[in-house]
A and B are shown apart, each in its own frame.
Chain A
Amino acid sequence: MAVAVSGLSKTFGTTRALVDVHLSVGWGETLAVLGHNGAGKSTLLRVIASLVRPDAGTVAVGGFERAKDAAAARSIVGYVAHQPLLYDDLTAAENLAFFARLYGVRDARARIAEVLDDLGASAWADRRVRGLSNGMQKRVAIARALLHRPSVLLLDEPETGLDVDGLAMLDRLVRTVTDGGAAVVMTTHGMERGLSLADRIAVLAEGRVALSGRTAEVTPADVRAMLTRQYQVAP
């Protein structure tokens, strides 16, 4: 399994962000995680990325257990967060060069040119991130996450800030990554995008997995009904 999550729970103060979550994603698969704001989607990704320590449960990425071998797990994970996680006063290329050094990317210059080209961001390579639009920053952020050829790509609402071309590029990218054998876990509010891109889907409600299965077995009506029920339950 590329990602195996078992019995995962996490509480922030009195808020139960994740409650006994069990999920798995195979190599070459995409898992779309849906749910309303505060359902626990981002926390789930942050735990898988080893940014947040769970209160209970286990997470294994590429066979590396987060608790035992976090550095090995991190080395095969690429993570795109809500924020671009880039330095404003460095250029796009300088940002990527910095992260290439942290990840020990070989032949970094060629790899940076390659990912910027893949993301349609080559023209901005020498512009400081501060001067880039949100959409441009998002593309560079995705380039940063892909730089070290991760085996597991975590995308937290990646469509935010992207225009129509950017969304098409994102869809192509997810398919290219999974075609190459890597796994993708993405959170999204776009049910249609999630169902069309993913092999598996999970709906989170108040930190629990309310619905999960293969997208071939789950209809949009099932997902819509689950999300609607959450709205009705919410005060």
Chain B
Amino acid sequence: MSTYLRAAMAIYWKDVTVEARTKETVFGVLVFALIVTFIFKFTFDPAPRVVALIGPGIAWVAYIFAGIVGMGRTFVLERDRGTLEALLLAPVPREAIYLGKLAGAFTLMIVVEAAMLPVFVVLHDLSFLSLPFAATAVLATVGLAAVGTLFSAIAVQTRARELLLPLLFLPVTLPVIIAAVSSTSLLLEGGGWREVGEWLRLMLAFDIAFLVLSSWAFESVLEE
């Protein structure tokens, strides 16, 4: 196995192990997603017809806000204990650190998205279970995690880190957010692969572009 993949997998596995033991981030993020969903439900109490219209937006707003909270912690924990320096001291490509952290952020978001599915069924009578939705969720989450991991590394070096991350993250990920919501809406209206194909391709292009760009930019972001 190459140095690159070995290092990325070691970092990913370390993040998963730490999170599995503490469950701090996953519970925090899940509760955050639940609160956002509950607020929509009990503040607006939308009629079923309206739910079908705004449901995908509610779901993705909950996922994205929760994702910002989770990704914000990706580097904060490393920075606070100084372990980010230990990672930077290692003779591994910076892109491997990026990939390992991205994989951790992706896993966290996917776990939260999966855990929230039954909540949407119970609260809004929305069932997203389908293969095209799984593809939408995976492609959107890769894009969100790719951007979020890079911006989290930038934000952690500033004092206004909590403010900076959403300010950087939301405008840049707007294409993915629009694509994910549109694709989910089409699927709820009975569409399939053919209807959502264009949105999936857009997300795939976004993912590739930001994986390449973020990997390239990551080294200069981390150097003092």
Residues of chain A touching chain B, judged by Cβ–Cβ distance below 8 Å, are: 46, 49-53, 71-72, 74-75, 77, 79, 81-90, 94, 98-99, 101-104, 144
Contact = CB atoms under 8 A, between A and B. Distances in A.
Contacts of B87: 102
B224 A53 contact: yes
Given A101-B6, A104-B3, A81 B90 contact: no
Contacts of A79: 89
B91 A90 contact: no
B89 A89 contact: no
Interface string B3-42: 1001100110010011001100000000000000000000
Given A84-B82, A104-B3, A77 B17 contact: no
The binding surface of chain B is classed by DSSP as: helix
A87 B89 contact: no
Given A83-B82, A98-B14, A89 B91 contact: no
Interface in B78-93: 81-83, 85-93
Given A51-B88, A53-B223, A89-B18, A102 B83 contact: no
A53 B14 CA distance: 28
Interface string B87-130: 11111110000000000000000000000000000000000000
B22 A89 contact: yes
Interface residues of B, number: 24
Contact of B81 (A46, A83, A104): A83
A53 to B, nearest CB: 5
Contacts of B90: 74, 99, 102-103
Q: Which 8 pairs show the lowest CB-CB distances between chains A and B? A: A83-B82, A75-B91, A85-B86, A102-B90, A101-B10, A74-B91, A52-B224, A71-B91
A102 B6 CA distance: 7
A87 B18 contact: yes
Interface of B: 3, 6-7, 10-11, 14, 17-18, 21-22, 81-83, 85-93, 223-224
A98 B25 CA distance: 21
Nearest to A73: B91
B85 A102 contact: no
A77 B89 contact: yes
A214 to B, nearest CB: 29
Contact of B7 (A49, A75, A83, A101): A101
Contacts of B6: 101, 104
B98 to A, nearest CB: 14
B3 A94 contact: no
Contacts of A46: 224
B82 A81 contact: yes
A86 B83 contact: yes
A71 B86 contact: no
Contacts of B88: 50-51
